[in-house]
Amino acid sequence: MELFEGVLIAGAGTAAGAINALAGGGSLVTFPTLLALGYPPVLANVTNTVAAFPGYVGGAWGYRAELRGQRRRILPLAVATALGAVAGSALLLLGSEGTFTAVVPWLILASTLLLAVQPAIARLTARSDGPERLTWASLGQLGVGVYGGYFNAGLGIMMLGVMGMTLNDGIQRLNALKSVMSAVASVVSLIFFVAFATVAWPAAIIMAVSGLVGGWIGARVGRRIPPTPLRWSIVAFGLVLFVVLLTGGLG
């Protein structure tokens, strides 16, 4: 690997780690970077997913204060997310590249719109945070885990949308929970891909280390943003991600 290529990958990894901690969708930076450097699409996606894990860990660590009191939620959501991630990772390796390219933008658009209308729907359906909400959140995370195992760009956006619809809490605490679940989905996919797929390890290691730093930076910045601007910045980012992917941003 040449020095310029390494520097470019490191910069993309840092930016992606910060974006994933704030909103999700860091693959909009790293995945096209790998494609531009000549990596085949599936190899680029697998490598990108493997490299994202430390960034998610950094984001969760940065939000550790907001995770207090959420222990009851973490285990059932993590189990559902892990099961979904296994299924999604298998679908990626067994499915066609054409399907991969065509479906992803619409999944991102749906999750972004879900997040945008979440406050209004939450007001209409407001009730105490009981077991039935955690059950629905777990079912939602099962589906989100499938998405994350398949292609993790916009994973955080979709998680925030599902959690916002099913759990009564502020966006900062949900953002913290999202960071943990993103790490769960990522580590499951990492194990699956290491066992059954090819990974470009030099690029993955560089992105992983830089993503860890970026995830910590993103979490520190995100904690200081008021809830409403944070929500709409995430929605705006999701819409940009949709347009780029729909118009050929995957390659």
Domain parsing of the chain, residue ranges: 3-246
pLDDT of residue 24: 61
User: What is the pLDDT at residue 125?
Assistant: 47
What is the model's pLDDT at position 201?
Answer: 95
* Confidence bin at 174 (pLDDT 50/70/90): confident
Burial 37-60 (b: 16+ CB within 10 A, else e): bebeeebbbbbbbbbbbbbbbbbb
Q: What is the pLDDT of residue 35?
A: 81
Which of 34-38, 85-89, 227-231 is the most confident on average? 85-89
**Rounded Cα–Cα distance for residues 118 and 113 (Å):** 8
- In DSSP notation, 174-227 reads HHHHHHHHHHHHHHHHHHHHHHHS---HHHHHHHHHHHHHHHHHHHHHHTTS-H
Average pLDDT over residues 129-145: 84
Higher-confidence residue of 89 and 159: namely 89
Residue scoring higher pLDDT (101 or 209): 209
pLDDT number for residue 124 = 53
Confirm if 189 and 50 have CB atoms less than 8 A apart.
yes
Q: Which of 103, 168, 156, 97 is nearest to 132 (CA)?
A: 168
Of 215 and 91, the structure prediction assigns the larger pLDDT to 91
Question: Which tens digit of pLDDT belongs to each residue from 21-67?
Answer: 776 667 778 888 898 898 888 888 899 889 888 877 887 888 889 99
For range 120-131, the mean pLDDT: 56
In the numeric block, which tokens belong to residue 238? 């999701």
Q: What is the pLDDT of residue 185?
A: 94
Residues in the chain: 251
Residue with tokens 């494609």: 35
Residue 131 clears pLDDT 70, i.e. is over it: no
- Its pTM stands at 0.79
The answer, yes or no, to whether residue 126 has pLDDT greater than 70, is: no
Give the residue-averaged pLDDT of 131-145: 88
Q: What average pLDDT does the structure give for the chain?
A: 84
